[in-house]
Amino acid sequence: MVSTLTYITFGIQYQRTVPGCEHPDAPWADCDGYLTVVAADREAARRGVFALLGRHWAFDYDTPPKPVHAPLGEIARLVVQNDGGTLLIVKDWIESPAKPDLEAMAVAIDNQTYRGAEWRS
């Protein structure tokens, strides 16, 4: 499968380190980082993002945001599979997975350790 990378940013109102400013569906989300989405095409990526985050995200890009705009860099990766399933991988420094009731797992991507959860959408 040929994959497309899409980069999702979050609004300034989502700051996981500020009480009361946490993302309603993704406690790992932060305006100073971005979500990388791996999917067959951009439309599949957007469907996966809407399934995961609803309307609670800012913009989607073809290239990663510059470090000056996203100093935390990639904070999570969403893999949208051809069968509609998704795999969310949250970087290891983030304390909680996106869906607390799901089993945590460790995955190595790009020589970095990530922690996340898997579910079917």
Which stretches of the chain score pLDDT less than 70?
1-2, 84, 92-121
Q: Residue 1: its pLDDT value, please?
A: 54
pLDDT (tens digit per residue) in 15-38: 777 788 888 888 888 888 999 998
Pairing of strands 112-120, 33-39: unpaired
pTM: 0.73
> Domain segments of the chain: what residues?
4-120
Strand order in the sheet with 85-91: 60-61, 4-9, 33-39, 73-80, 85-91, 112-120, 105-109
> Look-up: residue for tokens 């890009």?
61
